[in-house]
A and B are shown apart, each in its own frame.
Chain A
Amino acid sequence: MIQIRNVDFQIHGNPILHDISTSIPKGQLTALIGPNGAGKSTLLKLIARLEKLQSGSVRIDGLDLSATPTEKLALVMAVLSQHTHVSSRLRLCELVGFGRWPHHHGRPSAHDRAEITRALELFDLTALADRFLDEVSGGQAQRAFLAMTFAQATDWLLLDEPLNNLDMAHARALMRHLAGLVRDQGKSITVVVHEINYAAAWADHVIAMKDGRILAEGPPADVLTEPLLSRLYDVPVAVGTHQGRPLILHHV
């Protein structure tokens, strides 16, 4: 479980997060939703120790974030940031290979190589393994970064807008795949998503944020309701059901 206690955050004096206290359940797919500028990415970065905590505390499976060495945290959680623009000319297999670095620090074993092969297979990249990053499409590059995160083989995966650049089919395949990892391998995955229906269809737990505060949290059926979503995004939405899960109609 990730426990967040009294976290405030400011950038150049502008408050981004106000006294956030919540917890993210272990062994579930958690979706962070909310309008642009709500503080979702900032909260994810603080949990992932990509930004330094200014106040409050974060504990991940009992490990205090500010007291645990970063190498140790890399074996507990893997992070995918937004805007992963890379100027290095790397082959996809080399990029995915860096996901194993926290385990071997420069001396990969046969097990590490097997994990790289497996990650490439899982993300449908085997045929592209020897291509350079600047020779594949944005969606393929995004999948390569996901495969790198996955190859890190951590209990926790924190993904900031993993659906960026993915077409409908690959976005759905990714969410299905993440849900499968949670169900079959007991992984705990937290994603920031903008397309709310992916949260509705696949998430076990939803945290809705607005203006640096948590507006609501809980199972999708409790959070993704007409009044709450209309308040969250300041637009009227209609919520139906599809296969027993909420279906949000926000585009008309």
Chain B
Amino acid sequence: MIRPLPVMLAILLSLFVTSLTIGAAQVSLRAAGSDAWAALVLMESRLPRTLAVVLTGAALAVAGTVMQQIVRNKFVGPDTTGTSESAGLGLLLMTILAPDSPVWVRMLVASLTALAGSAAFILLIRRLPAREVMLVPVAGIILSGVIGAVVTFIAWRYDLVQYVGTWLAAGGSSGIIAGRYETLWVAGAAAIAAWFAADRFAILGLGDNVAKGLGLDPAPVMRLGLMVVSVVSALVVVTVGMIPFVGLVVPNIVSRIMGDDLRRSIPVVATAGAALVSACDIIGRLVIYPYEVPVGLIMGIVGSVIFLILLYRPTRPST
């Protein structure tokens, strides 16, 4: 039997190396030791960008798994539940109210508004009939739309529509250099925290009654999950813009292949998410070389195709 984790790690490693060698400047990895200019390009531009993409993909995919567990619905991700838009709202408010604030303050505020948005989503879906599985993603998309509309309206009033559009589409992704991406390690840490609580999320996914019966109070697990999803979404939106579909499709693919034993599956989810976003980033850098297309755009196209395939292809039996 093929073990998913080593396979995904191998794929991710090759994508990682590929990402280091692609770019407008022609740089050889071997030359980095002797050539100071090559080392500069690698350490200040290529490596930070590659790490940013890997961290983003891994953290978003894990956040998607967590979201799907706490909502108990496979058709949601951080980008379809109002979380990312709420983070964008926080970012916009900081741009208007405190344009000179340091980046960590913006991230904190974006995390808090993301948390408020996710909490609003949870409160909203609790009022929906439990059996109507498809109402949950619909409610999420409507909430995302409403918050997105508020963002657009405020941006329009302050003549910031273009700024917001550029930011959400690309963030700083094309310009990621050393000193700009490091906060994404916090998103990575949030994903690792999710792995430590993997059993708790898996039990929460079985329902509040099962969790209580096993002596696990659902409320703190829910709060931890919302924090993970919000922090990851906010940091990603602030640093690299909105990356759609990762948190939706990667957990679904991994769940189809190896099920929802999260302690085993979260590492696979993280590597697969990192590999998918890396691949999309590489495509984005090659299609109009030496110029580039934002990774979010490529991810939107690739992700929607994968999602359609997942919807139409039934799950394979395990035996």
Contact = CB atoms under 8 A, between A and B. Distances in A.
B243 to A, nearest CB: 25
Given A106-B199, A130-B319, A131-B319, A98 B214 contact: yes
Contacts of B206: 84, 86, 88, 95, 98
Contacts of A79: 209, 212-213
Given A70-B216, A89-B255, A131-B319, 14 more contacts: A70-B217, A72-B215, A79-B209, A86-B207, A87-B72, A89-B256, A98-B203, A98-B206, A98-B210, A99-B214, A101-B203, A101-B215, A101-B216, A102-B214
B174 interface: no
Contacts, number: 93
Interface in A84-123: 84-91, 94-95, 98-99, 101-102, 105-106
Question: How big is the B interface, by class?
Answer: 20 to 34
B193 to A, nearest CB: 14
Contacts of B315: 89, 134
A75 to B, nearest CB: 7
10 contacts: A73-B215, A86-B207, A88-B72, A89-B315, A90-B202, A90-B259, A98-B203, A98-B210, A131-B318, A132-B259
Given A89-B256, A134-B315, A135-B317, A102 B215 contact: yes
Interface of B: 69, 72-74, 133, 199, 202-203, 205-210, 212-217, 255-256, 259-261, 263, 315, 317-319
B307 to A, nearest CB: 17
Contacts of B256: 89
Contacts of A88: 69, 72, 202, 205-206, 260
A84 B217 contact: no
Contacts of B73: 87
A95 B210 CA distance: 11
A105 B199 CA distance: 8
